[in-house]
Homo-oligomer: A and B are copies of this chain.
Amino acid sequence: MSGCPHGSSGSGYPYGAPPPAQPYYGAPTSYGGPPAYWSPFAALVPSAFPPGTDPNVVACFQMADQDRSGFIDDFELQRALSSYNQSFSLRTVRLLMYLFTSSNVRKIGPKEFNSLFYSLQNWRNIFERFDRDRSGKIDAAELREALLSLGYSVSPVVLDLLVSKFDKYGGNNRAIEYDNFIECCLTVKGLTEKFKEKDTMYTGSATFTYESFMLTVLPFLIA
């Protein structure tokens, strides 16, 4: 796998270096063809090749930073993550930015982008591992396994609530698409981390003041 998290690979490798040896879950696409389904940055075309370590990350950052401000804002990130058959809502993007910067600044710099890059890569790999028929959706049991593989164990009741919240179509055949899966992962990861910050003794319980409760929860609501 190479390029932007799950970006172009194989003959079209745009950075002048061979792709690093990494687990590979997606089909390669020829560069210049339609963006690969599994690439969060497929909408981007590289404009420069930066030297140095981790060139994929640097290149993706520079591609996303369209105004060359040195930061990526919410609209730039949304554009970078969306491709022809995969869109990210501004809500998902802002939740990503909040959780990778721990602020409401809505700008991410190179350091945060690095973490974001590998998390997206990881989530995409996990999603594809469970979306075996390439339908672009995973069901409740698969979501449970996917969250487990990320280190989050949720009860059946919480799982049911997650599926009801992140299944955008409703109906009987509940399933979660990739963008909602990302939002679901972000939500579980973010809420669990916030809870753990208050549960420093690992008792399984956490105490909040009203103020800290509101400030913990509100950022996860509508962005």
Contact = CB atoms under 8 A, between A and B. Distances in A.
Specify which of A183, A195, A219 lies most central, judged by the most chain B CB atoms within 10 Å of its CB: A195
B223 A104 contact: no
Q: From DSSP, what is the main secondary structure of chain A's interface residues? A: helix
A207 interface: yes
A211 B155 contact: yes
Interface string A179-223: 000010001000110010001000011111111011101111111
A157 interface: yes
Given A164-B104, A183-B222, A191 B214 contact: yes
Contact of A204 (B157, B166, B209): B209
Contacts of A220: 217, 220-221
Q: Within the oligomer, what is the number of copies of this chain? A: 2
Nearest to A180: B222
A91 interface: yes
Q: Which of A191, A204, A214 has the most CB of B within 10 A?
A: A214
Interface of A: 91, 104, 154-155, 157-158, 161-162, 164-166, 183, 187, 191-192, 195, 199, 204-211, 213-215, 217-223
Given A165-B219, A191-B213, 9 more contacts: A158-B218, A161-B218, A165-B223, A166-B222, A192-B210, A206-B208, A220-B220, A220-B221, A222-B222
